[in-house]
Structure 1
Amino acid sequence: MLTTYTVENGHLAVRDHVRDAEALRRAVWIDLLQPSLEEEHAVQAALGIEVPTREEMQEVESSSRLYREGDSLVLTANFLHGADTGNFGSTPISFVLTATALITVRYATPKAFPVFTARCQKSPALVSSGDAVMLHLFEQIVDRLADILERISSDMDRASHNIFQRGVEDPANKRDRNLKEALLTLGQVGEVTTRASETLLGLNRIFTFVSAEKAMAVRKENQGTIKTLVRDVRSLVEYANFLNSKATFLLDAVLGIINVEQTNIIKTFTVVSVALMPPTLIASIYGMNFQHMPELEWTFGYPLALGLMVATAVLPIWFFKRKGLL
């Protein structure tokens, strides 16, 4: 889908499925969401630029993601999407900055895009120029990443509470359920944090490249925004690294607690096995089919054998309990 954004008479004009070359040239922001070949050709013919294909956007080398093509900058990075729904993933998005407009090419919709569009409806000044749109859109993406990392921190605090505080007070079955939930939470946290870090890394590379080209690509009044974005991204990278370390610690703690629980279960089975060995030996002896076994003719032979089995079972249990093994 092709959507154009233009400021007309102080108001934001949003149009879908535009094909007219003159209308495309007047647009300040052209958003291509899962574009068709026809839409790509229309933009290329109207603006005289090459729109990156999906295959080109997926290339990982830096020279294929950040480069100058004539008077245009082509910037591509992977962005986190779907963090709210749980169906999260990373998608490459390309930003083509020309002297008059910004073209975005994407195949998914991170939440920052509709939020930024709503902001533009209230403040059309955000769409004053292509570089302004790009930088303000990056600001929205950074704000969105900050919100995601804050939510992840809250999830980890809740998991930590379930592991170290409620785990001591809860019964065994509930404690096991809490540990399982903590493992699932930490798995999701690790996945989202990793993808958020990937997004931050891509943004950092974009800002470094744009800073080197800002004299030609960014208007003077917008150059201060780049410095602010660089500082914000660096702080979020540090925070994401902290969350990764915390998630690793909590994961190790959960696995350690599970190992302790398993050790206790194995220890209990070991003690029971040892306690049952002497009674089993006695029963085996008196189960042998020898012709001359004087105890078989005793009046109290049977109760005596039962008593010996009970005594030899109780004594090991008493010993292990005294030693603190039970």
Structure 2
Amino acid sequence: MLTTYTVENGHLAMREGVREPEALRKAVWVDLMQPSRDEEAAVQDALHVEIPTREEMQEIESSSRLYREGDTLVLTANFLYGVETGEFSSTPISFVLTGNSLVTVRYATPKAFPVFAARCAKSPGLLTGGDAVMLHLFEQIVDRLADILERIGADMDRASQGAFRRGKPGEVTLGERDLKEALLTLGQVGEVTTRASETLLGLNRILTFVGAEKAMAIRKENQGAIKTLVRDVRSLVEHANFLNNKATFLLDAVLGIINVEQTNIIKTFTVVSVALMPPTLIASIYGMNFAHMPELNSTFGYPIALALMIASAVVPVWYFKRKGWL
């Protein structure tokens, strides 16, 4: 789908499916969402730029993601999307900055894009040029990532409180459901923070490249925004790393609690087995079919045997408690 954004008489004009060369040249922002070959060809012919293919966008080497062709900058990075629905992933998005126009090529929709389009409808002054659109779009992406990291931090705090809930001193009160919920939350937190860090790393590379080419690509009044974006991105990278480390610590703590509970279960079975071994031995002895066993003719033989079995079970348990093993 091809969407153009143009400012006409102080108002935003957003049109879909426009392929006339003159209309494409007037557009400040051309957004290609899962473009067809015809749409790519129309934009290339009108703006005289090379639109990267999906295969080219997925290349990982920097020379294929960040490069300059004449007066055109082609910038590609992976961006996080789908966090709101829980079906999150990363998608490569290309920004082609040429003259006074910005062309974006994408195959998924991070929430920052529709939010920025809605902002442009209210404030058409954001569309003063292709460089302004790109930098404002980056600002929206950074704001969105900050919101995601804040929410992830809150989820992690809830998981932390659930992982360290205690009843009596020294008694962990986590159940199987609590442990499973904590593990799933921490797993999701780790995945989101990793993909957010990937997005921030890509943005940092783009801003570093644009900063080196700003004399050619960015107008003087917009160059100050690059420094602000770099500062914001670096602070979010540090925060994402902090959340990642915290998630790793909490995951280790939850796994430690699981190991402690499993150890307690195994210890209980071990104590029961040890406590039942002496009574089993006594019962085995008196179950033998020998002709000469004095206790068999004794009036108190049966209760004495029962007493011995009970005592042989109680004594090991008492000894274990005295040693602090129970």
Match of 1:167 in 2: 166
Match of 2:40 in 1: 40
Distance in 1 (CA, whole Å) between partners of 2:234 and 2:176 is 39
Distance in 1 (CA, whole Å) between partners of 2:153 and 2:172 is 27
Q: Is the 8 A contact 2:166 2:173 kept in 1?
A: no
Give 1:210-221 correspondences, 5 Å limit.
210-221=210-221
**Secondary structure of the structure 1 residue equivalent to 2:41:** helix
**Secondary structure of the structure 2 residue equivalent to 1:40:** helix
Give 1:55-66 correspondences, 5 Å limit.
55-66=55-66
Distance in 2 (CA, whole Å) between partners of 1:169 and 1:52 is 62
Give 1:9-24 correspondences, 5 Å limit.
9-24=9-24
The one-character-per-residue Cα deviations of 1:284-304 (angstroms, maximum 9, x if unpaired) are 112223343333333332222
**Secondary structure of the structure 2 residue equivalent to 1:19:** coil
**Secondary structure of the structure 2 residue equivalent to 1:310:** helix
% identity of equivalent residues: 80
**Secondary structure of the structure 2 residue equivalent to 1:251:** helix
**Secondary structure of the structure 2 residue equivalent to 1:288:** coil
TM-score (norm 1): 0.96
User: What code does the residue aligned with 1:179 have?
Assistant: L
Give 1:1-326 correspondences, 5 Å limit.
1-164=1-164, 166-168=165-167, 175-326=175-326
Distance in 2 (CA, whole Å) between partners of 1:44 and 1:297 is 109
Distance in 1 (CA, whole Å) between partners of 2:166 and 2:246 is 19
C-alpha RMSD of the superposition: 1.5
Q: Is the 8 A contact 2:167 2:173 kept in 1?
A: no
Q: Is the 8 A contact 1:167 1:178 kept in 2?
A: no
User: What code does the residue aligned with 2:128 have?
Assistant: S
Note closer, same or farther for the CA distance 1:53–1:167 as it changes in structure 2 (3 Å cut).
farther
The Cα of 1:169 is off from its aligned counterpart by 5.7
**Secondary structure of the structure 1 residue equivalent to 2:299:** coil
**Secondary structure of the structure 1 residue equivalent to 2:85:** coil
Distance in 1 (CA, whole Å) between partners of 2:303 and 2:72 is 99
Distance in 1 (CA, whole Å) between partners of 2:193 and 2:8 is 40
Greater CA drift, 62-71 or 257-266: 257-266
Distance in 2 (CA, whole Å) between partners of 1:124 and 1:58 is 32
Corresponding residue pairs, total:
325
Q: Is the 8 A contact 1:74 1:97 kept in 2?
A: yes
**Secondary structure of the structure 2 residue equivalent to 1:179:** helix
Distance in 1 (CA, whole Å) between partners of 2:98 and 2:242 is 37
**Secondary structure of the structure 1 residue equivalent to 2:92:** strand
Distance in 1 (CA, whole Å) between partners of 2:243 and 2:173 is 29
User: What code does the residue aligned with 2:56 have?
Assistant: E
Q: Is the 8 A contact 1:167 1:175 kept in 2?
A: no
User: What code does the residue aligned with 2:317 have?
Assistant: I
TM-score (norm 2): 0.96
The one-character-per-residue Cα deviations of 1:221-248 (angstroms, maximum 9, x if unpaired) are 1000001000000111111111111111
The Cα of 1:61 is off from its aligned counterpart by 0.4
Unaligned runs of 5+ in 2: none
User: What code does the residue aligned with 1:184 have?
Assistant: L
